Amino acid sequence: MRDEIRDFLTSRRGRISPSDVGLRSFGPRQVQGLRREEVATLAGVSVEYYARIERGALAGVSEGVLVALAGALRLDDAEREHLHDLARAAAATQGLPRRSPARSPSLLRPGVVWLLDAMTGAAALAVNSRQDVLHANALGRALFAPLFEGAGSGGPAFPNVARFTYLDSAAREFYLDWPRMARECAAALRGHAGRDPFDPGIASLVGELTTRSPEFAAVWASHDVRFHRDVEKSLHHPIVGDLTLRYEQLEVAGEAGVHVFAYTAEPGSSSAAALARLADSVRTASR
């Protein structure tokens, strides 16, 4: 945990130049970005106190100091939440009061499955914090066919988005902007790891990807985090060709860490026509 805190804070201050925050720089600099004393000045804390924090002593740091550090380091919303998650996790390692995390499940309630199956105009997937696809409706399975085909037999119980993105060569053809998708995939996983650093499933997945994918290891080392919000994805489908879709993320109440991702296309667009053709093929196959 101390290493995680240190690496996150040093990576954030390393990307900010003194001129970005209105500070003058004199002479050669031995560090990239801001120095520790500059961060301490911007946050309004002593250099010694910030140095202890950056070395991993984040347990018990007040809300006010966390907010000040977030401002000094120019953290976005996802990074601010990640900093607070690290503080809560650090408190747990010190034996301070902490609510036990609700681990992301591997099975869905029947009602959630029925809901997804009832969605026929959108491709929908239910994904947990480890990026396992717990269920997909018929159009979702058809749209993400390379993901489900890549899972194969005898492997993990569920297709996993992160494994597919980094370990399956088909992902580089399926995602038209694979580098962006790969960064976003790792950043989302980093956020979940910060919220529950004691989840053995996430730790095992990160260890596997770090060992097997040099690209993942490099992106993971950047300590970037992000929120999933309404975003476009450009895909190359093996049957209907290229599509640009938007997705909405819906949190599933009572299922910790599980979200439904629903993919639709702009009405009247070529992507909407392609998605409709794919839906027609699904209905034909079911008949």
Predicted model pTM:
0.74
- The pLDDT of residue 99 is 44
| Most confident residue range from 61-65, 154-158, 159-163, 251-255 | 159-163
Q: Which of 142, 230, 214 is nearest to 182 (CA)?
A: 214
Which 8-state DSSP code applies to residue 104? P
Amino acid at 132: D
Query: Do 6 and 55 meet the contact criterion of CB atoms below 8 Å apart?
Result: yes
Specify which residues 261 forms β-bridges with.
125, 249
Q: How far is C-alpha 38 from the geometric centre of its chain's CA atoms? A: 30
Query: Do 209 and 167 meet the contact criterion of CB atoms below 8 Å apart?
Result: yes
Contacts of 259 (CB under 8 A, 6+ apart): 126, 127, 228, 249, 250, 251, 252
Q: Determine what percent of the chain is predicted with pLDDT higher than 70.
A: 88
Tokens of 77: 């919303």
Q: Where is pLDDT greater, at 5 or 215? A: 215
Alpha carbon of 142 to those of 21, 62, 131, 270: distances in Å?
49, 49, 18, 18
Q: How confident is the prediction for the chain on average, in pLDDT?
A: 85
Q: Which domains does the chain have, with CATH numbers?
A: 2-93 (1.10.260.40), 110-286 (3.30.450.180)
User: pLDDT, tens digit, for every residue of 87-120?
Assistant: 887 777 765 444 444 555 567 889 999 999 999 8
User: pLDDT, tens digit, for every residue of 185-202?
Assistant: 999 888 888 877 777 888
Amino acid at 220: W
List helix spans (H) across the chain. 2-14, 36-43, 47-54, 63-72, 77-93, 110-118, 138-143, 145-151, 161-167, 170-174, 178-195, 200-212, 214-220, 270-286
User: pLDDT, tens digit, for every residue of 15-56?
Assistant: 888 777 777 665 566 667 888 888 888 888 888 888 888 888
Say yes or no to pLDDT of 280 above 80: yes
- The pLDDT of residue 61 is 83
Say yes or no to pLDDT of 134 above 80: yes
| Own/partner long-range contacts of 1-5 (Cβ < 8 Å, ≥24 apart) | 1/56, 1/86, 1/89, 1/90, 1/93, 1/197, 2/55, 2/56, 2/57, 3/56, 4/86, 4/194, 4/197, 5/53, 5/54, 5/56, 5/58, 5/86, 5/90
Tokens of 92: 């747990």
User: pLDDT, tens digit, for every residue of 204-245?
Assistant: 899 999 999 999 999 998 888 877 665 889 999 999 999 999
